[in-house]
Amino acid sequence: MGEVFCFIGERFADLQMLRYQVPCFENLNLRQKKLLYYLGEAALWGRDILWDQNGAYNLRIRRLLESVFVYYPGDRECEEFRGFVTYLKRVWFSNGIHHHYSYDKLEPGFPSSFLHEALTQIPKEYLPLCEGESLDALEKTLFPVIFDPDVMPKRLNQKDGDDLVETSSCNYYGADVTQSEAEEFYARQKRMDGDTRRPVMYGLNSRLEKTEGTLVERVWRCGGMYGSALEHVVEMLEKALPHAENERQKEVIATLVDFYRTGDLETFDRYTIQWVKETEGDVDFVNGFTEVYGDPLGLKASWEGYVNILDNEASDRTRILSDHAQWFEDHSPVDARFRKDVCRGVTARVVEAAILGGDLYPSSAIGINLPNSNWVRAEHGSKSVTIGNLTHAYSQAARGNGFRQEFVVDGETLSMLDRYGEVCDNLHTDLHECLGHGSGRLLPGVDADAMKAYGNTIEEARADLFGLYYMADLKMVELGLLPCMEAYKAHYYSYMMNGLLTQMVRIAPGHVIEEAHMRNRALIAYWTLDHYPRAVRMARKEEKTYVEVLDYEMLRTAFATLLREVQRIKSEGDYEAARLLVEEYGIRIDASLHQEIRDRYQRLDLAPYKGFINPRYTVERDSDGEISDVHIEYGESYTEQMLRYSREYDTKL
Ligand code: ZN
């Protein structure tokens, strides 16, 4: 008997650490394992870049805190030290001093006097002092950043009307650069390039600063800003190169190296095009300046890296859906005028993450669709992946945590969810991504942006409803995607429970629903509750509110009816109908129900945010120094891993 793998790591503050398994690693041959190993090293070497992007003092603060953690000679059980450790763990998790999700500055949870006392007891050589700097000067610089809530309060400020560049403390712009200056700078770059149909990603890989009153970009490249980290990334990419699985993959890696050396954004576009076209290899990766959510102007990309392995078996699922895309389009309940004559599904690959780095670590996305350049996507398409081993880790961790026991109406429904919940979740995601978004068409002359601010919610509702409708189709069982005609009921129940009740736990009291996916789920659930009282209702048991599904087949009719309407709205560009639907069902929350759900959730004491501990890869070498085997280990703790990364991937930035 093998050991039982433990998905659950430690819990602190509002965070739960998880572990993920990489079963597909064992299917790789030695050459592929070497490729994966070096790409993994390249993903880890970019860590410090992200820390610096998230805030100018983050790396020094990390070094300071780690020194105290390792060398503090005092009482390590006292309340202050424990508060300090929790703070350090949160800083590690956020890759900086601001919360990874809310972007608010983390509260230290211990007094500055404790840190001062601790620092005086630590040998000077272990402190991150600059040349000639005294401890006193170090504290003067870093203590306000750590302890004063008014200094750098928010990493990313998106409040309309503020100068977003000046009020965001991320490190993408020099301290004296204003929003209008930055906007004008990039508008001018675009004008100078003329009306090109293939614009580069302006500003993607640089910090914008002022030198003697003039705006200049400090480009992130070898020999430039972040050069010391990028040299290491490049070294590992070059070691990966000879083990590439095919010629195109070689080209991808070589062009990426070229981009890191030059910082040239046209080279970056060339690289992403080659990357999109490379679909033959089992091992794939993302490495570079990728997502722009962390920049208030949405131009500058945070560094991220990960490596994945194709899960062939699970990818059959998405391949089957794509191959039958036309059948699904032809049989959908929407008006024939709004259907596509020729429909091509998107093949989303299901992969296993092998290592997570940069902005994907420790908190990670579970689905990734790249590249982000609009014209590259339009002309060359995109690659979409679902990271199956991370979703599996989430669902394993959720087992027995008490959440379903608290909110599901009865034991029968509960065991149905335990049996079919995960297979249904995966399938619904695939239907949504591979078919839902790509289905349907606009009537001629209808503006794709006609829905304006309601566009995202309507589009997500359309994709979700398409998936919901087909989950209950006999075709799912015939294609081998669901085990039986009962399974879909598990998903219908959990979808309604989430939309009507449990997703509210993520909304603060007194607030409304803002995020498009959440609005869409509320819209579908509350519209259905309102229009189909014989299919679903709210039930009260022992002072608690539950969702009760009375008729699953009728629920499907409800979804079909709403899909028909939502597709009509989209196809005709009926803004007013979209507005009414979203405003009526998608936004508002009943205050007393909200309070009840939050109270029940709080009593479960679950961490709202989760992140992952990476596996560790070690190599054996033969007498020539060539790798003769690669091993994977899962035993490392969160703290061990963070300290090791700081030690082994220190880039002296
Ligand atoms: Zn979507």
Q: Is the pLDDT higher at 492 or at 158? A: 492
Structural domain contains residue 89:
no
Q: Is residue 476 part of a domain?
A: yes
Q: Ligand 1 centre and the CA of 460: distance in Å? A: 5
Q: Which residue has the tokens 């499907």?
A: 556
Integer Cα distance of 111 and 462 in angstroms: 51
- Residue 456, domain member (yes or no): yes
Q: What is the pLDDT of residue 377?
A: 82
In the predicted model, is pLDDT for residue 559 greater than 60? yes
Q: Quick one: average pLDDT of 496-524?
A: 93
Q: In the predicted model, what is the mean pLDDT of residues 397-417?
A: 93
Gap from CA of 436 to ligand 1 centroid (Å): 8
Strands (E) in 480-583, as ranges, are 536-541, 544-549
Closest CA to 566 of 384, 332, 370: 332
CA 331 to chain centre: 33
Is the residue at 7 inside a domain? Answer: no
Six-digit token string for 234: 């490049």
Is 169 among the domain residues?
A: no
CA distances from 195 to 188, 190, 420, 486 (A): 12, 8, 52, 55
100 located within any domain: no
User: How far apart are the CA of 438 and the centre of ligand 1, in A?
Assistant: 10
Closest C-alpha to 44, from 651, 652, 633? 651
- Which residues on neighbouring strands pair with residue 631, listed in sequence order? 618
447, amino acid identity: D
CATH number of the domain enclosing 566? 3.30.540.30
Res. 4: pLDDT tops 80: no
- Calculate how far, in angstroms, residue 651's C-alpha sits from the geometric centre of ligand 1: 38
Beta bridge partners of 105: 98
The count of domains in the chain is 1
Q: Each residue of 179-206: pLDDT tens digit?
A: 999 999 999 999 988 867 899 999 999 9
For ligand 1, the distance from its centroid to the CA atom of residue 458, given in whole angstroms, is 10
Kindly indicate the confidence band of residue 1, based on its pLDDT and cuts at 50, 70 and 90. Answer: very low
Nearest CA among 352, 354, 387, 356 for reference residue 369: 387
∠ at Cα 542 (538, 544), nearest 5°?
A: 45
Does residue 344 carry a pLDDT above 80? Answer: no
Question: Can you read off the two tokens belonging to residue 534?
Answer: 């014989």
Decide if pLDDT at 369 tops 90: no
Could you check whether the bond before residue 23 is cis, i.e. omega within 30 degrees of 0? Answer: no
Which pLDDT value is given to residue 179?
Answer: 96
In a domain? residue 445: yes
CA of 434 to the centre of ligand 1 (A): 10
pLDDT range class, residue 67, cuts 50, 70, 90: very high
Reading the block at residue 205, the tokens are 């890989």
Rg (CA), the chain: 26
Q: What is the dihedral of CA 88, 93, 95, 101, to 10 degrees?
A: -120
Asked, for residue 384, whether it belongs to a domain, the answer is: yes
pLDDT at 438: 85
| Predicted confidence (pLDDT) per residue in 99-140, tens digit | 998 899 999 999 999 999 999 999 999 999 999 999 999 999
Report the separation in Å between the CA atom of 164 and the middle of ligand 1, taken as the mean of its atom positions: 28
Ligand 1: distance of its center to the CA of 153 in Å?
32
Please report, rounded to a whole number, the percentage of residues in the chain having pLDDT higher than 70.
99
Helices (H) and strands (E) in the chain, counts: 25, 14
Cα-to-centroid distance, 433 and ligand 1 (Å): 6
Tell me, in angstroms, the distance from the centre of ligand 1 to residue 203's CA.
27
Look at residue 23 in the predicted model and tell me its pLDDT.
97
Domain of 536 in residue numbering reads as 227-610
The pLDDT value given to residue 453: 84
Measure 459 CA to ligand 1 centroid, in angstroms: 7
pLDDT at residue 378, rounded to an integer: 79
CA of 426 to the centre of ligand 1 (A): 14
Residue 138 half-sphere exposure, CB side, CA atoms within 13 Å?
Answer: 19
What's the 115 CA to ligand 1 centre distance in angstroms? Answer: 46
- Look at residue 163 and tell me whether its pLDDT is greater than 90: yes
Do 234 and 256 contact (CB within 8 A), yes or no? no
Tell me which H or E stretch contains 19.
Answer: strand 15-19
Quick check: 54 pLDDT over 70? yes
Closest CA to 28 of 643, 573, 632, 645: 632
Strand 383-387 and strand 536-541: the pairing is: unpaired
DSSP string, 319-366: HHHHHTHHHHHHHSSS-GGGS-SS-----EEEEEEEEEEETTSSS--S
pLDDT score recorded for residue 280: 93
What mean pLDDT is predicted for residues 521-542? 97
Q: Measured in angstroms, how far is the CA atom of residue 72 from the centroid of ligand 1?
A: 48
Residue 463 CA to ligand 1 center (angstroms) comes to 6
Q: What residues contact residue 66 under an 8 Å CB cut-off, 6+ apart?
A: 88, 643, 646
pLDDT at 320 over 50: yes
Q: How many angstroms does the Cα of residue 440 sit away from the middle of ligand 1?
A: 14
